[in-house]
Amino acid sequence: MAMLEVKNLSISFGGLRAVDGFDLTIEKGMLYGLIGPNGAGKTTVFNLLTGVYKPNEGIVRLDGEDITGKSIIEINKGGIARTFQNIRLFKELTVLDNVKAGLHNHNTYSTIEGIFRLPGYFKVEKAMNQRAMEILKVFDLDGEADVLASNLPYGKQRKLEIARAIATEPKLLLLDEPAAGMNPNETGELMETIRFVREKFDMTILLIEHDMKLVSGICEELTVLNFGQVLTHGKTEDVLNDPAVITAYLGE
């Protein structure tokens, strides 16, 4: 059974077909890339998969379950987490508290326990602190747990956003241009981080990316999107060596 199966996904805005008949199948454990020029509809696809937009047509199944049209919260609890091209952290919170925000997806205490600081509250908080530190250590951020997220260097903010997404315990992780704004050294570190996350957490990953070095280095298969439609898909090497794709869409 595929981890993600998308059939005929479509949405229009003011008469403009932003995504038109989009199909995608990703098997469990794959590291898959979605590429294409600016305005191709890649982020719109992510927004459809995560409940930001409701599709006009089509079906989305996650691990066999129909999640089409569900809310953002329902989809996140069902097993999809994402990052954003423009980093969205709780910048007024510490690094530790950002990860704990993700952990609240599966760790809860009652309102009464929280208000009156009953034993159940402290038990959950202790467990979340421990788990958050474990996740931060994976990303080499445990030494900065008490630092405000806004005070982290850019590359570490990227890592923190991925760490917070991992904390929700997703089946599928969506990364929207994770290398955006990074220098070559940071991009290299990010590639290693993504590989490690996949292996450490047995994660299925779908990423949007313009950095062809990153795509060719870690993605097993690619789908090329243009004007909201799938241009081609297949093994990464085959797609990147397609002359039509290279000339028209990758600018190489």
The pTM (predicted TM-score) of the whole model is 0.91
Task: Scan for tokens 């421990």, then name that residue.
Answer: 130
Q: For the domain with range 1-79+170-252, which CATH number is right: 3.30.565.10, 3.90.1150.10, 3.40.50.620, 3.40.50.300?
A: 3.40.50.300
| Paired residues of 33 in beta bridges | 207, 222
Amino acid 193 reads: T
pLDDT-flagged residues of the chain (< 50): 116, 252
**Per-residue pLDDT at 51:** 97
**Per-residue pLDDT at 116:** 45
CA atoms of 23 and 56, how far apart (whole Å): 14
Backbone angles phi, psi at 188, to 5 degrees: -60, -45
The residues spanned by each domain of the chain are: 1-79+170-252, 90-167
Are residues 19 and 45 in contact, defined by beta-carbon separation less than 8 angstroms?
yes
Task: Scan for tokens 């990364």, then name that residue.
Answer: 175
**Per-residue pLDDT at 108:** 65
Are residues 230 and 224 in contact, defined by beta-carbon separation less than 8 angstroms?
yes
CA atoms of 50 and 68, how far apart (whole Å): 9
**Per-residue pLDDT at 252:** 46
Are residues 148 and 92 in contact, defined by beta-carbon separation less than 8 angstroms?
yes
